[in-house]
Each structure stands twice: as structure tokens, then as C-alpha cells.
Amino acid sequence: MNKKIIIIAILAVFGGAGLAVWATSNPFTWTNGLVGYWPFDGQYTTSTAGTTDVSGNGGWGTFTNGVGVTGGISGQAAKIDGVDDYVSVADKDSLDWTGGGWSVEAWVFISGVSTDWVHLIDKGNSNYWLDLSGGASAGKEIAFYTSIGGNWSSGYVPLPNNEWHHVVGVGDDTAKTLKIYLDGRLGTPAGSYTGSPSANTGALVFGALAGARYANGMLDEIRMYNRVLSADEVMQHYQQTRRRVGI
């Protein structure tokens, strides 16, 4: 009888602990508000045509001008040459930020610098984009932008070249703030803006502003959310991917 009581007590303790661990890595944070997800892995990608949006929202990514596929942070990544490569997703209402919250997440590997501004992820060059700075600091800093009667920025944070980094841009139309996170940490104090973002009919483009400002390197695990990812969620996504791939 005593042994049964002890066994039951042990199961209760470890069962409770298991639930607690699950709660701190809740998979719901990966899917809540997810409107696009492009992992570029082999079962979802053809080497020349494009890649599937596995969120279920149908945002097929078309490879343009020889986008390649190579080993990424997790599985495969899109390889872009900095000359004319990009991935294009046709305009969809679900990919426009029109109020509330918006979050853009990706793992990026930048292979070199440019003297021009470089766009990593861009929705019609106005709704939102992740931007590498031009000029004297070309290719060395990254920011999250929107355009509402002018360009508004989260502020820039240094982005080292030739290594993988986790980048998240977050727009909050309630607080009127723009944030950029690098490797799980808020990169700068939040930028602010006035007005509200509005939809456009432009494509969602990875690796360029379609027709210009091409990035050189690799992009992987791109996700879009129609809500604000919290600081804790951003850190959780970063840490869980690092643990899963062993970096």
C-alpha cells in the first residue's frame, strides 16, 4: 500500500512538471495568428520553381532569376546572389498590415555588404519591410520599417555578416511602435509612428525590393503573424530553434 502511494505521488510530481515544461514552450505561440510560413525545406520546395507556404494560406513563393536552395539554419534555405535573385509571393489581403499588430520573423545569413539599401522582406515597398542600411554603414545594420506619409523605422541594430541570425520586426498599431529584435533581444528602443498602415497591391518579396536592392546570402524559416509577438515569444522562438538545431 505504501509503495502504491509513493508511486502515485511520484507520477503526480513528474506529470505536473511535464505540464509546466510544455506550458513554457507552448506550440500555440508558433501558430496563433500565423498568416504565412516559408521553411524552404525539400518537401515544400522545388529547386527552380518555388516554395510552398505551409501555414495553409496559399502564399506560393515563386523563385525568380535563379534563386537556389542550400542547407539552412533548419533543413534548407533560399540562397540569393545579391545580383537579381528574389522570391515573390502574390499579393493577398491576409499579407497586408492594416492595423492591430504585425510581426515578421526570419533567420538570415548575409554574405556581404552593399553600398545601397537592401531589402530582406518587403511588402510593396510601403506596408512593411526589413531593411539593411545603405551608405557608410551599408549592409551592417537592420531595421523594421513602414511607410505612412513618409518612412518610419524601428531604429537600426548591427547585423554581423557571414553567420546566421534570428531577426523579428514587430509593428503595434495600438501603441504606435516599431521594434526590431536580433537573436531574441530587443535591438534598440522602440521607434514610433503616426497614422495607421494601409494595404497595398504589391507582392511580398524575399531578398529584394522587386527589381532592385538585392540581398546576398540566405533566408530561412520566414514567418508572418497578424499580431504582436511579445518579447518572451520572440526569445522562445529563438532559443527553441537554437536548441533544436544544436547551435
Rounded CA separation 247/109 (Å): 14
pLDDT tens for the 247 residues of the chain, in order: 443 433 333 333 333 333 332 233 455 678 999 999 999 999 999 878 999 999 999 999 999 999 999 999 999 999 999 999 999 999 999 999 999 999 999 999 999 777 778 899 999 989 999 998 876 665 678 999 999 989 999 998 999 889 999 999 999 999 999 999 999 999 888 999 999 999 999 999 999 987 789 999 999 999 999 999 999 999 999 999 988 888 7
Q: Write down the pTM of the prediction.
A: 0.87
Cell of 83: 545580383
**Among 150, 143, 144, CA closest to 128:** 144
**What is the DSSP-derived secondary structure letter of residue 84?**
S
The residue assigned the cell 520599417 is 145
d(CA 107, CA 9): 43
User: What DSSP designation does 189 have?
Assistant: S
**Residue 63: C-alpha distances to residues 43, 45, 207 (Å):** 16, 10, 11
Q: Is 35 helix (H, G, I), strand (E, B) or coil?
A: strand
